[in-house]
Structure 1
Amino acid sequence: MNTPQQTESIKNLVENIDKGNIVLPEFQRDFVWEIKKTCELFDSIVRDIFIGSIIYGKPTFEITVREIDTRPRKGQGSRRKLKITSFDKGEINQKSQISNFRLILDGQQRATSFYRALKGIDEIWFIAKSEDDLDNEIKTKEYKDRSLEEMLYTFSLQEDEERISIKLSEAYEISKGDMFDEDIKENFFDNLLFVVAMNDAELKDNFRRYKTLCMKLGELFKSELLLSYYLLNMDNEKFALFFERSNSKGIQLNFIDILAAKLYKGFNLRDKIDELESRYPNFKFDREIIVRTISYIVSNGKDIDRNYILSNLNYDHFNLYWDDICKYYNQVLDFLFQEDLAISQNWMPYENMVIPLIIFLRESNQNDFSQMNEWQYEFIKYWYWASILSQRYSSGSNEAILQDSNVLKSIAKGIKITDRVFFTRLKSQIDSYEDIFSYSRKVNVIYKGILNLINYNSMGLTDWNNSSKLSFSKKLEDHHIFPKEYIKQQFKNDEQAISLMDCVANRTLIPKITNIKVGKKKPSRYMTELKASNEKLDSTLKEHLVPTEIVEGLYDEFFNEFIEERAKLIFDLIKKTIIEKEKQIIDQYYLAPRVQGNIKIFATYYSKKLEATLDVDSQKVLLLGESHSVSSAADKAKYTLSGKGDTSTNGWRFWKYIDNNGQERYIDEFRK
């Protein structure tokens, strides 16, 4: 490029979008990034990983432009038309000279993601590491001297009740510098789940930390990061992230390719995958799922991220666990299809959900799922659908895998769940039938989940061409019930109909060959033709939650009425399967901790461990022969282990105990 590369800050980008100085040419594709991609984007800039360049253009001719997509992802306003403006040549020249008017030619997904996060359209949370999460080297630094990268735990779509969480849009507002501490505390900090039940000293210390992090995020927003070069000086994790987020001659690589090279001396991962697929030819196997499952076992349920895998797993671990995990993997897939929980592998909403199910099977010491009891079966079904409809695995999926694997490990042993918060994480994202209109892309988890749920409700969908059951091996397509071309012709002046054309309420899964036969005919015509070869078509339509009146032509001219009726049928199914079962599930599977008397507790700090005793009734800690409050005992423990004084610690999230399932848990569960 003849033009030298320049840099600008995220703050400058957002301000210029607000002023209308940065826009999109009307012909640009829509904003399509899933919200989890925004989490990855901010993760990359905090870790100083190259995210690519944004390419602007200064037009010298008349052009029509479109605003940056500021619509909510669902609900009211999600389908409104984006503002389009046309400029003649004179107007363009004037705006370019006076306002630095620019068009985004490449990079609109990144630019839009930055804007939506900082303006609060998409809620993105910076989750800070707790002291227990930090390496010893970082713990020695003063809090203000730690970098954002050193403090980053994850970027998430929701706050973390156990760590300081900061919504990026709130940090952006604070960074403008015109808010008093009292306003920041009242409007933002005091609303965090993390600070519930803290005493005054804890609140003061954590507010100081909260403000420090907000200041550092503000500095990030003002720094010139969008256009940058990449320095190849990386640890294992950065090395893996670099290859995952870039292409090498068009070939996408990920950290498993790096792991394969590491294991090659004693375990040929690529050959083992080929051997696995020849042994179990009915399914496709994701090598990353097997690797993360082995990591879960080796780390005793504590770590499955890429850095741990690349740093700690060796070929002995793979030789020890590979065959058993592959056997369980095959059995899990077989269970999902036999029970109609998944209609095909290509249409599975979250393949990562296989991992907790593998752990369940392994921990239950059963040969297959047929040996589980009804109590276990009912929980698995609820957990499966609730996880999908809550989009539980869409961001921070590693943490969800660990949590769910530990929960299913308990269920496998017949032990109830003592973590009440677990059930709140399973809240459905669909609260009304109108929410269903927001899902129109097959890459979306809820879109896939709805189509699979319809299959599950019917105990296996049948083909429209005949009454044969759809099998997981068939090539299925998400067929438009009202054909797309028919809607474009018949409802071309109806903006609502056009906007709902691809909605999941107008979709159902049928074999590709049947879909081709449908073409662009009106619904009553192609269904009458199908009924001539399938006299059971009415019952088939009911399985697909399609009103049978469609065959008679009653809906041919009333697409909007049809789509509303089917959305209501789908929502009724979601209510029956998940929403209405929530209380019953909690009553049946939750057990509040009811410990009395003394329990053994411990804390780890600077890689050193110290044990103590908690009197649950008095909530006092006996440490080194003295009685303390929970938090003062934590301060005493830190001083004993590190010699570092003047600390302020939330002791309820410092001390841990071992539960009945052998898992480490915070004593926060015993707080009165």
Structure 2
Amino acid sequence: MPVEKTERDVTTLVGQISGGEIRLPEIQRGYVWKPTQVARLVESLYRGYPTGSLLFWQTTETPQTREAATGTPQATAAVLPLYLLDGQQRLTSLHRVLTDHPDAQVVFNVETEAFQNQSATTAKDPRWIKVHEVLRPGAKQFPLIQRLHEAVPALDPDVVGERIGQLAAVRSRRFHMEILTDFPYEEVAQIFVRVNSGGQRLRTTDLSLATLSARWPGILGKLEDEADYWARRDYPDLDVTFLTRALTGAVLGRGLNAWSHGKLVAASDEALEQGWRTVQRGLRHLVPLLRENLGVDHSGLIPSHVALLPLIVFLGERPDEPLGADTTNAVLYWFLVATIRARYSGSTDTRLGQDIPATREPEPIKRLLANLGALDTRVEVTANDLQGRNYGSPYFFLSYLVARRANATDWWYGTSISANAEGSQKLEYHHIHPQSTLRNHPNGYGKGEINEMANLAFISARANRKISNRSPKLYFPELDPADLAAHFVPLQEELRDASAYREFLVARRTLLAETMTALLDRFRPSWVAPLGGSADPLAGRSLEFQLYRGQAQTDGSLVVTARTGTDEWSAALGLADLESALRAAESGLDSDVDIAGEIVPVRVDHEDVEILMGPFLVSGSMAEWKQTLDRERADALPWSKYPVIDPRPWRGERVRFPVANVD
């Protein structure tokens, strides 16, 4: 059966849609792309990136069709139409852009060459122009270039002209087409299902594992055996997915990306074997260091397992000779600093592409610390760094480590705290000042204050139930002061009343910060400067979510409150819209959400999801986003308490903020 191959440009294809010469068969799904995805398509055409081929069916039959979501009715074609099997989202999006559809108001920044959907901010900025202005029929470039130069004199008119010309060339970009002819409808339906099935994208780790399995028979068994080895030693997070990532990092010298599988195919047998030896040897050196020297008795304590990858490569490839005390300490120091600074909270592949090669340089740990900006200044933890931090913060991990080093014990069994405890001795985090006495207190304590890590202590499940919601002024007298001090709980009696809760937080933050800095100093190598101080970029910044729901459990509005020093920003977004965007992200698709009337992109950065929220670029894995929203559902407030919000666009700089840190 013949398959015709040809090419047509964007202008021709869009015209054929309007003229009814390209139609959608009934089996096609509806149009689902978000404005952000449309902007990314236009950007890809502008930059000359591959945008995939199109698949059509031509037949003398007259199949049932559905209307394209172009906003205008299609004409009746005078020729035999083509039925679009694959490419509906792309062609419909381009039709919308070229015909100025209200939901495809894509704009272009002539200074940065960025694309996005029109917003209140871009509408007021003369550097942003509507793509339709350039792509519409009869558009003249010179008046537009002159207008841009007059509005922004700092822009070089020659550069602007080149970029406008490059954008105008999108109209003539050509798509490769395959046209099936003489195929019966039943067979075309099968082809359509095969081409469009899946929906759920393969994660980069899944794709790499599939490539490795085909390239190196027997590797899956090796990975499963290794994962089982570590699971039996309380490190279950070193699973097949993690080990695949570690092996890929050792072989390729960087993190995973969409092109990793191609490079794995090209890797030699020797490189794969050596990479696997590196992973196994590195883990057998690293895990005992974490467990015995640092007190990490369970892998579930580690906020980001990605931070282990450079150390696995370093320890797995180093010569077989004694590891000096200074190097041992330096390894753990880097791990602690990389953890509290959330080194891999976003742009993971880029960061690993810096850090894994650094482990192969003459002074590897120095290079790693230089990448962190922590080589020439002593890293300190201040009380201000801990303000607003909750159990999702990497500082919470440090609070466990310092309690372990202080020989903290459970407040019921008297046993040393351990993440491996089970049953009624299983470790929990306990609100020292109970939530119930703080929520409705006249002092108006907020959700973020109540859940601060400075109000949390590690005790057993039974001790937690025993204390229940009693005030510290009632249950502290039952405890030995030494047991409180080992958890860095201030002993002043006046801080035990809920009315002095904020003073309690200040006092405990100070105690925790001092001992966390002492922990860092314990492992800080001698060649790192003892003076100075490296500021945490999130110090004094916080982000809080609060969900409000009505009687219907499917509705809800999520109020987002960001604080940066003295400035506060609030906005709201629909819970259903956010969850829809996250589902799209889980399938590898960029999307967007409406935050206070402004379209905000939701982007996928490998396996992290990033959303702009006021002063922050909030990022995290899909699991972290889901965990955060599950927590908000559990803590939802009724509509009757919905606050008055005065949203405003954020015009300042943005800082990356891990979603795990959200209160």
Q: Which structure has greater strand proportion?
A: 2
TM-score by length of 2: 0.47
TM-score by length of 1: 0.46
